[in-house]
Amino acid sequence: MNAARLDLFANPVTRKLFGHLNAAGQVVTDSPLPPATQELVKIRASQINGCGFCLDMHTKEATAAGETPTRLHLVATWREATAFTDAERAALELTEQGTRLADASPGVTDEAWAAAAKHYDDDQLAALISLIAVINAYNRVNVIVRQPAGGYQPGMFG
């Protein structure tokens, strides 16, 4: 296994950054946004961003929390899959548009926002957009340093 370009866990700057990101993530974890939706969002953003480390972590955490293998295998093709609720589909669409901001001139469309707002209240929407921002930050740091994937064990970070 190749080593990361930088040891994110030993470096004092990234350890401090991760402390803040973890605190932000805990706000989302403690929010009324359904836990299954939270994991699906983390997985989809990580797929789009090519973050193997986060995919390893969040698929294992989702499995440990009782998520089915079928749903996990279908996250990348959620539009065609019948395994997701309308609310989850709205969250995944918002995740895709919020993750691909540089790829889409309109950014997040009014239709995507309205679909999410149909299924989630303001606190859940606030948690959802916060989660999209936080997982994208984690993805970018891990992709930039080429953080290796495969060794994560559920719960190993707390």
**Residue ranges in the chain modelled with pLDDT below 70:** 1, 104
140-151 pLDDT tens trace: 999 999 999 999
Question: What confidence score (pLDDT) does residue 2 get?
Answer: 82
Residue 66 lies in a domain: yes
Nearest to 33 by CA among 115, 152, 148, 131: 131
In angstroms, the first-to-last Cα distance of the chain is 24
Three-state SS at 134? helix
Residue 140 lies in a domain: yes
Question: What confidence score (pLDDT) does residue 157 get?
Answer: 84
Residue 60 lies in a domain: yes
Residue 117 lies in a domain: yes
Question: What confidence score (pLDDT) does residue 1 get?
Answer: 59
Residue 7 lies in a domain: no
Residue 33 lies in a domain: yes
CATH code assigned at 127: 1.20.1290.10
Which runs of consecutive H residues, i.e. helices, occur in 7-109?
A: 12-29, 35-49, 52-64, 69-74, 86-99
37-65 pLDDT tens trace: 999 999 999 999 999 999 999 999 999 99
- Domain carrying residue 37: 12-145
Question: What confidence score (pLDDT) does residue 58 get?
Answer: 97
Query: In terms of pTM, does the model score above 0.85?
Result: yes
Residue 92 lies in a domain: yes
* Number of domains the chain contains: 1
